[in-house]
C-alpha cells in the first residue's frame, strides 16, 4: 500500500473511531430496529448540491463529505453526489431533500430565504461574524439549536459542512468611488447583501455560479460577486470583470451547509448516524483549510499573471453600507419573530467576539504586520 493511501485510510479509521466514541457518549435519536439486522443493512444515499459538478472548493467539498461518509462506514452507507442540474436545479436542492427525493443537500442557507428570512443568518450576515466566529456561535453559542428548530418543519437536520472564509467584494466593470456608483448596477449578490445593494440603487440578479461568466460576458450583469480568488480564478471572472474589490463586507465568513432528511437520518443504525454527524466536522475543516491555502496562491496569480486591478472600497462607502445593512436587519426582525430570536443570539455573540478579537486575532495581525 502506498504511503498516501495508508495515511488516508488510517485517518479515516481514526475519525470513524472518534465518531463512534462520541456517539456512545451522546446517543443520537433513531427509530428502533433489531441491532443485528441494522448492522448488516447497507444504504445508498443521494446528495444534491447547488454547485456545478466537481467545482473547485464547493463542489469538491461536497464530494469530500460523501467520500468520507462512504469510507468511514466501510461502504455500508454509500453517498453519491449530484451537481446542480443533474438531478434537480441548484435552487431546488432544499425541497428535494425535504420531500425525500434525495437524502442530503449541500448549499448555502441564504438561498432559502423564501422559506424563511432567518435562514440567512446561517450562511453569513453583512458586517457579521467571521467563519471562525460563526462556528463558535453554532457550536457553543446556541446557534445550532436555533438552526435545528428552523429546519425541523421542513423535515431537515442542518449541519455546518464547510466555509469559504471571508469573501471578496466582487468584480465590477466600472470603478466604485462613491455610493452613488452602485445606482443602476446589475449585480449578482444573494442574501442580505443583495437587499442592501437594492437600497443603494443597484439591481439584484441572482444566478447560480455556473451562469456568472456568460452573464458578465453578454451584459446581463455589470458586476458580480462569487466567492474569492480561488473560485473566481477557476470561473475565469478576471476575463469579464475589470476591477476586483475588497473587502467582502456582505459575506465576512460564509458557512456552507449540508442538510439531511430527518426520516432518512433516523432510519440509520446508531453508528452510521454518528458517522454522518461527525463527517460534517471533517468536511468543514477540509474546506476551510483548502480555501485558506488556495486563496493565497490564486490572489498572487490574479495580480501577477493576469494583472488584475485590485481596489479597496472607501471608508465612506463601507460606513454607508454598514448603516444600511443594520437598517435591513432591523426591519427584518421586526416583521419576523423567529429572525428576531436568532438575531438576539447572533448579535450578542458578535459583541463578545469583537471584544476578544480586538485583543486576539486583530491584535496579533497588527503586531505581525510591524515585522513582515
Q: Are residues 70 and 105 in the same domain?
A: yes
Q: Could you tell me if residue 340 is inside a domain?
A: no
Buried-state track 295-319, b at ≥16 Cβ within 10 A, e below 16: beebbeebeeeeebeebebeeebbe
Low pLDDT (below 50) residues in the chain = 1-34, 36-37
If asked whether residues 313 and 325 sit together in one domain, one would say yes
pLDDT, position 40 = 75
* Residue 183: inside a domain: yes
CB distance 279 to 161 below 8 Å: no
In angstroms, rounded to a whole number, what is the distance separating the alpha carbons of residues 99 and 97? 5
The pLDDT value recorded for residue 29 is 46
Q: What pLDDT is attached to residue 206?
A: 87
Q: Do residue 52 and residue 131 come from a single domain? A: yes
The span from the CA of 38 to the CA of 240, in Å, is 53
Instruction: Say if residues 52 and 210 touch (Cβ distance below 8 Å).
Output: yes
104 & 179 share domain: no
353 domain residue, yes or no: no
Whether this prediction's pTM lies above 0.85 is answered by: yes
Residues 75 and 129 reside in one and the same domain: yes
Asked whether residue 180 is domain-assigned, the answer is yes
State which residues form the domain around 202: 167-249+307-335
- Looking at the structure, tell me whether residues 263 and 276 fall in a common domain: yes
Distance of CA 156 to the CA centre of its chain: 17
Same domain, 241 and 330: yes
Q: Is residue 232 part of a domain?
A: yes
Supply the angle between the helices 3-25 and 270-304 in degrees, to the nearest 10: 130
176 shares a domain with 76: no
**Count of residues making up the chain:** 372
For residues 172 and 259, membership in a common domain is answered with: no
- Count of C-beta atoms within a 10 Å radius of residue 330: 11
CATH number at 69 reads: 3.40.190.170
Grid cell of 67 as nine digits: 467520500
Residue 354 lies in a domain: no
Quick one: pLDDT at residue 208?
Answer: 86
Spatial neighbors of 198 by CB under 8 A, at least 6 apart, are 204
β-strands 156-165, 254-261 pairing: antiparallel
> Would 347 be classed as within a structural domain?
no
> What pLDDT sits at residue 30?
46
The CA-to-CA distance between both ends of the chain, in Å, stands at 43
Q: Are residues 155 and 17 in the same domain?
A: yes
d(CA 210, CA 55): 9
Domain count, the chain: 2
Q: Convert the pLDDT of each residue in 268-323 to its tens digit.
A: 999 999 999 999 999 999 999 999 999 999 999 999 999 999 999 999 999 999 99
- Taking the C-alpha atoms of residue 49 and residue 161, their distance in angstroms, rounded to an integer, is 12
The answer on 224 and 162 residing in a single domain is no
Residue 369 lies in a domain: no
Last residue of a domain, one of 293, 323, 355: 293
**CATH of residue 190:** 3.40.190.10
- Work out the number of other CB atoms within 10 angstroms of the CB of residue 39: 13
State whether 90 and 202 are in the same domain: no
Residue partners of 80: CB distance under 8 A and separation at least 6: 44, 45, 46, 47, 66
Amino acid at each position: 500500500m502506498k504511503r498516501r493511501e495508508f495515511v488516508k485510510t488510517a485517518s479515516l479509521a481514526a475519525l470513524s473511531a472518534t465518531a463512534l466514541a462520541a456517539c456512545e457518549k451522546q446517543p443520537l435519536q433513531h427509530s428502533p430496529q433489531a441491532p443485528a439486522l441494522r448492522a448488516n443493512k447497507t444504504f445508498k444515499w443521494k446528495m444534491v448540491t447547488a454547485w456545478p459538478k466537481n467545482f473547485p472548493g464547493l463542489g469538491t467539498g461536497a464530494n469530500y463529505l460523501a467520500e468520507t461518509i462512504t469510507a468511514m462506514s466501510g461502504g455500508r452507507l454509500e453517498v453519491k453526489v449530484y451537481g446542480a442540474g443533474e438531478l434537480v436545479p441548484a435552487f431546488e436542492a432544499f425541497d428535494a431533500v425535504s420531500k425525500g427525493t434525495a437524502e442530503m443537500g449541500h448549499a448555502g442557507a441564504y438561498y432559502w430565504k423564501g422559506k424563511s428570512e432567518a435562514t440567512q443568518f446561517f450562511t453569513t450576515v453583512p458586517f457579521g461574524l467571521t467563519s471562525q466566529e460563526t462556528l463558535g456561535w453554532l457550536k457553543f453559542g446556541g446557534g445550532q439549536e436555533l438552526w435545528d428548530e428552523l429546519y425541523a418543519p421542513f423535515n431537515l437536520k442542518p449541519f455546518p459542512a464547510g466555509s469559504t472564509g471571508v469573501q471578496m467584494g466582487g468584480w465590477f466593470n466600472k470603478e466604485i468611488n462613491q455610493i452613488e456608483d452602485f445606482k443602476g448596477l446589475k449585480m449578482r449578490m444573494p442574501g442580505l447583501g443583495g437587499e442592501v445593494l437594492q437600497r443603494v440603487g443597484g439591481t439584484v440578479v441572482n444566478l447560480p455560479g455556473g451562469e456568472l461568466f456568460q452573464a458578465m460576458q453578454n451584459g446581463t450583469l455589470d458586476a458580480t460577486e462569487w466567492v474569492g480568488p480561488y473560485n473566481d480564478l477557476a470561473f475565469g471572472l478576471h476575463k469579464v470583470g475589470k476591477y476586483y474589490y475588497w473587502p467582502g463586507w456582505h459575506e465576512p465568513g460564509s458557512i456552507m451547509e449540508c442538510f439531511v432528511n430527518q426520516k432518512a437520518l433516523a432510519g440509520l443504525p446508531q453508528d452510521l448516524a454518528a458517522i454522518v454527524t461527525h463527517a460534517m466536522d471533517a468536511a468543514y475543516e477540509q474546506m476551510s483549510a483548502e480555501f485558506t491555502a488556495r486563496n493565497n496562491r490564486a490572489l498572487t496569480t490574479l495580480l501577477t499573471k493576469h494583472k488584475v486591478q485590485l481596489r479597496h472600497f472607501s471608508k465612506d462607502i463601507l460606513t454607508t453600507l454598514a448603516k444600511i445593512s443594520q437598517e435591513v436587519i432591523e426591519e427584518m426582525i421586526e416583521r419576523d419573530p423567529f429572525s428576531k430570536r436568532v438575531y438576539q443570539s447572533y448579535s450578542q455573540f458578535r459583541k463578545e467576539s469583537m471584544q476578544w478579537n480586538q485583543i486576539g486575532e486583530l491584535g496579533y495581525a497588527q503586531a505581525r504586520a510591524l515585522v513582515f
